[in-house]
Structure 1
């Protein structure tokens, strides 16, 4: 069941925004998202929070500046998702521009697991580093940091994940979510943390006279990478993150991108001059992530750090091929998951736990997300690992902090979860295969105790009705140019329509022609093949649809029901 609920837009805030020159429709949408003044829509770099408030960033800058001056070898230990890949690329490009001797290592997720483990430190020693820098990981790597210390290697942790009860004894930790850090934006992605670390390092090198007589590296050139990683990691787009994304989009639209970003746009068949956060989240990000899911994320990182456009295009085509393979695997897994759920009533459960021995470890997170979306239940999907273990990836719904739920499971059954970590909406864990029934029962009990039953009904917030005069290409383009994402949701409207025509595309997408007043409008709902009633109440996004060079509008239906 889905409840369509309009977001309230405080009248005073709407009026203030209109008086400050905001388009009336945008004023209503922004006010409904808590925007009080035009200052919160200022996406210039001067509005970016200063690095100095990020705990540990100045210490990291001094340590790295000392290492550069000493000619010390540095190695970045990356994570295997889009955030980790872009964070690594930002580090490699910035440090090399500063004159550093730096390489990178991105371990195979299936062999080495997550974070800076002792095994990964052993692997890294082959590169003879004097400094290890983690990006998008490391805050939970207590044993790995200790192993690095035993080898005489300094460690700089840059991460954004929530810390556990014990912090690693690294030389420096830069993480807005570590204890004692009062950085106002706790929502920085891993790439955002690395970008801030590089800003602080540049300031430190500037003070030391490192750029005397030569041009200072322009770190703004890396903002396309920062934007991509921020959107793809689905972190909250608070004001600071919206600045980073807006600046990155500005560079993409002006064709001032890294070769790898340009190549990814080409592989995805998207027009970079009209780049949106949607492109980053649903076109570029998945292609990079496919490398980490099915192969080796070093392929994605190489795409982002090469300056050879031809090589970037070749790698982007490989990434596109991997993404198509990933989608085929995902479709098969989803079909198996749905068949497995036929024997139960998902509505009678507060959570869903899924497992098939043949499932692909790299795709279970996407599968969990798909099942979560369909049934609106916190979902964990497991795949078989090594030595009798199974690895799970979970996705949650508003109202349940998934990592906290797993933490409570460990308190109730300390021997059950071997490893876990994550965020409110996504988490990963490892258990023994023989413990799956016990985990399923305890997790279900924990979720029932934590979640409000009302949160198990999907609530779809909308921005109300769209005036008849605004069903046009100009409005769609206006909305397309703005910054939307997690925590700053893209506009969704709702209204009633007459269904004049409908048909199924590719056996799974419902294509409709709707009538509103005297206006006929095309609409589509993806992955929905059930027919619509003659009159429907629909929640939708207004989108641009281009076909054979002709642009028009199309409603992207999020949900509909008989009116």
Structure 2
């Protein structure tokens, strides 16, 4: 038997039973919002006028002043981007937005992850130097670029940093830094993605330009920055940041633009190759269909293709680029499947039960650097442990991607290891739930032991229990299309604001295997009710369920559309036989 667990416990989320300001909502929605600690009706308002002002962000005054001066002088600005979907969308927002506001000489540079690694390094500054920009503007990176900032200063480039990653004890030398996670920052959200930070910079800059009469003097029309919200929504969802009120507004507004056909040609093309219709688009579609295709460029090759897809205004060009990204994504999936199976084989070969380990550390010299983060995420979901997966990066260097579980801030863990063991980690950075690092191959065994030790010190057994958190049961009459549509419109759902998940017991009326990993079912609630379609994706052995008569399932009430026919469907996230 494999060491990795499959049995989970379905735990129902607690809800407040006292009257709340949400009492006027349908009872089910009130219950769901209450379980997510949302008790202020204002948090249900997803209009743009509910966004907090940009000036609450530390450094915004200096940032807006410097960019306004750059427009007045028509200076040259080079955007230094990151190679993931957040970085790509932030780059596209920066280039499109700054040009719309009047800065004509704007270009970008995105590091190739395999040649230069992450962020504004001295090597990237050297790559930028021949272009002779007056300003380097980082998006989704830069907060830890101490050496890169020094190199930029030596080259006579002024540095502006927009980022959202957790800062270290020392900040880079820059003319302005905007990051909601700076110590003492007054902005009410710490959860903005890199693209959200850049969008806020543009809002502040537009206001400053309006106040100084720029649009009147230049005769340039004041741009509608809401036209960029499709990009903001995509990057925010793809970066899996918590969906607090600010992020829910940004995503909701972006989804509205996409649904009305007002998205950029690149996003519309990515939706087309993914087989998704803009009118029915959800946050989950951005996260699971569009984001991976955009990310494929940065994982396997060069994110420039993804950025160009987001920057082009020509639908035919965008569709050609999206098709290339789709082919890359297919290759990425094949690599990921292979590496995941190899990772699981390593778990099966452990000399101690997985239940005795507080964390999992895996390394294979043949693994692909661009895919290790996805493998770490898959293993983390399966084992419910913090996971770090390493690949060889050449020159006796290992690069790792880390994924965590609730209860452990993974960047803080890496920071503590780094403080207590100077020189062990060459470079690291990230968030509470995801991080990256590099170290020497010879130091891998030592790091792995320290990683598991530190994880064990922070976690208790309750953190490691395999749990599925449910919003309770649905009555048979609630299992219909109207309720599914209502739940879809009540989002956007995502990390930190999870899509409603329910549990119940069902009789199996029909079942059949789709492909070799999926199970199509027709279910009937135990105790009576109408039959409803259901589907379970990605099963290890779907055929094992063909003789099952009843089951208990944790499921999402979804909308299935086929040839313009829409029906309610249960999307099963976890199930166990009820025959025992």
Does the alignment pair 1:320 with 2:331?
no
- 2:507 maps to 498
- 2:22 maps to 17
**Of 430, 438, 441, which residue of structure 1 is paired with 2:446?**
438
Q: Spell out, residue by residue over 1:350-396, the C-alpha distance to the aligned partner (whole angstroms, 9 max, x if none).
A: 11111111111000000000011111111111111021011000111
- 2:568 maps to 553
- 2:78 maps to 75
Does the alignment pair 1:171 with 2:172?
no
**Of 239, 244, 248, which residue of structure 1 is paired with 2:245?**
239
- Secondary structure at 2:46's aligned position in 1? coil
Q: 2:111·2:119 contact (CA, 8 Å) conserved in 1?
A: no
Structure 1 residue 88: Cα displacement: 0.5
Q: Which runs of 5+ in 1 are unaligned?
A: none
- 1:527 maps to 538
Distance 1:515 1:72 in 2: 66
Distance 1:80 1:346 in 2: 34
Distance 2:305 2:206 in 1: 28
- 1:329 maps to 335
- 2:212 maps to 208
Distance 2:563 2:209 in 1: 52
Does the alignment pair 1:90 with 2:93?
yes
Distance 1:191 1:464 in 2: 35
Superposition map of 1:387-466 within 5 A: 387-466=395-474
Distance 1:116 1:461 in 2: 40
Q: 2:358·2:452 contact (CA, 8 Å) conserved in 1?
A: yes
Distance 2:78 2:420 in 1: 39
**Of 285, 301, 316, which residue of structure 1 is paired with 2:291?**
285
Does the alignment pair 1:382 with 2:390?
yes
- Secondary structure at 2:38's aligned position in 1? coil
Q: Spell out, residue by residue over 1:472-499, the C-alpha distance to the aligned partner (whole angstroms, 9 max, x if none).
A: 1111122122311111000000111123
Structure 1 residue 511: Cα displacement: 2.8
- 1:126 maps to 130
Give the CA RMSD over aligned residues.
Answer: 1.3
Q: Which runs of 5+ in 2 are unaligned?
A: 1-6
Q: 2:476·2:529 contact (CA, 8 Å) conserved in 1?
A: no
Mean Cα displacement is larger for which, 133-142 or 248-257?
A: 248-257
Q: Give the TM-score, by structure 1 length.
A: 0.97
Structure 1 residue 327: Cα displacement: 0.4
- Secondary structure at 2:575's aligned position in 1? strand
- Secondary structure at 1:503's aligned position in 2? strand
- 1:373 maps to 381
Distance 2:90 2:230 in 1: 11
Q: Give the TM-score, by structure 2 length.
A: 0.94
Mean Cα displacement is larger for which, 409-418 or 200-209?
A: 409-418
Does the alignment pair 1:486 with 2:463?
no
Does the alignment pair 1:56 with 2:71?
no
Does the alignment pair 1:256 with 2:267?
no
Q: Spell out, residue by residue over 1:296-344, the C-alpha distance to the aligned partner (whole angstroms, 9 max, x if none).
A: 1111111111111111111111111111110011111111111222112
Mean Cα displacement is larger for which, 471-480 or 168-177?
A: 471-480
**Of 226, 231, 236, which residue of structure 1 is paired with 2:232?**
226
Q: Spell out, residue by residue over 1:418-442, the C-alpha distance to the aligned partner (whole angstroms, 9 max, x if none).
A: 1111111101011111222211111
- Secondary structure at 1:152's aligned position in 2? coil
Does the alignment pair 1:197 with 2:201?
yes
Structure 1 residue 214: Cα displacement: 4.0
- 2:4 maps to none
Superposition map of 1:141-152 within 5 A: 141-152=145-156
Mean Cα displacement is larger for which, 504-513 or 201-210?
A: 504-513
Distance 1:216 1:550 in 2: 42
Q: Spell out, residue by residue over 1:256-278, the C-alpha distance to the aligned partner (whole angstroms, 9 max, x if none).
A: 11111111111111010111001
Distance 1:265 1:18 in 2: 38
Q: 2:259·2:280 contact (CA, 8 Å) conserved in 1?
A: yes
